[in-house]
């Protein structure tokens, strides 16, 4: 199961006095948000390159009594990531198992950080272009990482002995 840290976005408009995004309730069946004033904000725009969806209802905002507490602009826009439902599932997993991120940091993130910082060099960027070449470069880096760890655990001599005994 995937554990992704929750995104913590803040509405920094209006000096922190405006409604945060969590005040808007998403309704999957309608693919729309319900605002605190009980208006619907349908999907208005899709940004495919950034995988972001924008929900707004300018006509409802024009005469809304809660507008001063909602937006400093002409209307309120709520953004939703294309894969927000997966993020919500992960958030639920983290709520059920709060130590999951601690385990992730201890087991998963260390190898990736080590690969990025030491083995791949070049500021954590790959030296090649193209998916096949990138797979090859990553495979070599992971092999080097695993061999290095193995040498730390069993020693270089024991590793060389086992490699000589391995079937070809």
Q: What gap in Å lies between CA 14 and CA 74, rounded to an integer?
A: 13
Helix, strand, coil percentages (3-state) for the chain, rounded to 5, are 50, 15, 35
pLDDT, tens only, 27-75: 999 999 999 999 999 999 888 887 888 889 999 999 899 999 999 889 9
pLDDT, tens only, 70-114: 998 899 999 898 888 888 888 899 889 989 888 888 888 888 888
Q: What is the pLDDT of residue 91?
A: 87
**Length of the chain, please?**
168
SS3 36: coil
Q: Model-level pTM?
A: 0.60
pLDDT, tens only, 14-33: 777 888 888 999 999 999 99
pLDDT, tens only, 121-153: 666 678 889 999 999 988 998 898 899 889 999
* Helices of type H across the chain: 58-62, 67-70, 84-96, 100-107, 109-114, 131-154, 156-165
Q: Which two tokens stand for residue 8?
A: 């913590």
């Amino acid at each position: 199961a995937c554990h992704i840290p929750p995104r913590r976005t803040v509405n920094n408009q209006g000096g922190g006095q405006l409604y945060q995004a969590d005040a808007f309730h998403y309704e999957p069946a309608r693919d729309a948000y319900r605002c605190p004033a009980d208006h619907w904000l349908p999907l208005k725009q899709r940004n495919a390159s950034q995988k972001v969806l924008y929900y707004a209802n300018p006509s409802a905002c024009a005469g809304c009594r809660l507008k001063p507490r909602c937006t400093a602009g002409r209307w309120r826009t709520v953004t939703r990531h294309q894969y927000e439902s997966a993020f919500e599932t992960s958030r639920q997993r983290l709520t059920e198992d709060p130590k999951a991120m601690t385990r992730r940091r201890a087991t998963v993130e260390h190898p990736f950080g080590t690969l990025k910082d030491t083995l791949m060099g070049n500021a954590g960027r790959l030296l090649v272009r193209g998916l096949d070449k990138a797979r090859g470069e990553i495979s070599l880096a992971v092999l080097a990482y695993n061999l290095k760890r193995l040498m730390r655990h069993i020693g270089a001599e024991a590793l060389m002995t086992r490699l000589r005994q391995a079937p070809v």
